[in-house]
Amino acid sequence: MTIALSAHPALNPLVGQLADALPIKGLYYPASRKPNTDLPFFSDLPAILQATSPRVCAFLSPYADLHNDVRTCLQSGVAVLCAGPVPKADQPIATGGIHRGSPLFAKALQQRRNPSFAEPVYLRLVAGAQEPGLLPAWWAICRQLAFASDLLGETPSQVHLCANRHGRAYQVALTATAPSSASIQLVVAPQPAIAELTLLGRGGVISSSAVHSGIALASAKGTHVVPDMTTPPAELAWLRDFLEKENAPSEHSGDDGQALLSGLRRALRTRQPVLVNL
């Protein structure tokens, strides 16, 4: 069983971790310059498919021609796994769900289900886009919305989007109200190392930050911290789950993803908050 990866050069550290644990035979990205990687690199998709004969091609980064490359893989009999929604997708594929392999999500969900936490009132997530450009910022906000929806156990029917850019650095803010009336605020920043979570409930607060050593639940009974030991990236569990179970990860991002992309473009063009129906 072999895997071909497609990833932006900014994800080289992640690619290295995945290559150490999985049978990844090649790296593809439509770039003219070879990234710093020990994997065989290809800037042409048919070339990597011919050279590695992969069973699966996993796309970790979005780019303008992604939908055509996905179609090429499927027509070649190669299964496709995508870290986010595909622009202009014309057929169903396995997308998203990476957060379910994240220790942060697992610990937050465990604490969220603690009876002392009670009902959620307010959720704030801050994450960094892993690469420059509009499409990576779009994927980041889609992933944040999927994380929020799974953590709360509900998905808002509409959201408000604000977006700004400086060169290829994008800042995105999403606000929404869940069906239970919990408030949701999601932020995507151009700094990839940012990762913050705050979930306020009627009985306590769950919080986590990239600078903390774990995730904490503060309530009337005191503060309980779940340590965050050195763990593999969530993408590793995501890939293994697909390979071993042949599951198509579900994501709140089919038509919703396209609606969010359209909303982001409108917000950037008008420089005003825009309403997006999901």
pLDDT tens digits along 244-275: 876 555 444 456 899 999 999 999 999 999 99
156 and 265 both lie in a single domain: yes
Neighbours of 232 (CB within 10 A): 14
Same domain, residue pair 31 and 65: yes
Task: Please return the burial class of 275, using the count of CB atoms within 10 Å of its CB with bins 0-12, 13-18 and 19+.
Answer: exposed
pLDDT for the residue numbered 223 = 56
Q: Examine the domain organization and report whether 182 and 218 are in the same domain.
A: yes
- Is it the case that residue 218 has pLDDT exceeding 80? no
Within a domain: 255: no
Q: Is 250 a member of any domain?
A: no
Residues 196 and 105 in one domain: yes
Task: Report the domain count for the chain.
Answer: 2
Residue 105 and residue 221 in one domain: yes
Range of the domain at 69: 3-82
One domain, residues 114 and 210 = yes
71 and 117 belong to one structural domain: no
Using a pLDDT cut of 90, give the percent of the chain over it: 73
**CATH number of the domain within which 197 lies:** 3.30.360.10
Are 216 and 225 a contacting pair, CB within 8 Å?
A: yes
Render pLDDT for 88-123 as a digit per residue (tens, 0 to 9). 767 778 888 999 999 889 999 999 999 999 999 999
Mean pLDDT, residues 6-19 taken together: 93
Query: Could you tell me if 147 and 108 lie in one domain?
Result: yes
pLDDT, position 212: 47
Task: Please compute the mean of the pLDDT values over residues 3-7 and round it to a whole number.
Answer: 97
**Is the pLDDT reported for residue 213 higher than 70?**
no
Tokens 């999901």, residue located: 278
Asked if the model's pLDDT at residue 228 lies above 70, the reply is no
- Taking a C-beta distance cutoff of 8 angstroms, is the pair 45, 69 a contact? yes
pLDDT at 252: 42
Do 146 and 201 belong together in one domain? yes
User: According to the model, what pLDDT value does residue 193 have?
Assistant: 76
Angstrom distance (rounded) from CA 97 to CA 220: 33
| Residue 89 included in any domain | no
Q: Look at residue 131 and tell me if it is in a domain.
A: yes
Q: Can you give the CATH number for the domain in which 78 is found?
A: 3.40.50
Between 158 and 208, whose confidence is greater?
158
CA atoms of 34 and 32, how far apart (whole Å): 7
Choose the weakest-confidence range: 5-19, 77-91, 163-177.
77-91
What is the number of helices (H) and of strands (E) in the chain?
Answer: 7, 15
- With residues binned 3-state (H G I as helix, E B as strand, rest as coil), the percentages for the chain, rounded to 5, are 35, 30, 35
Does residue 53 sit within a domain?
Answer: yes
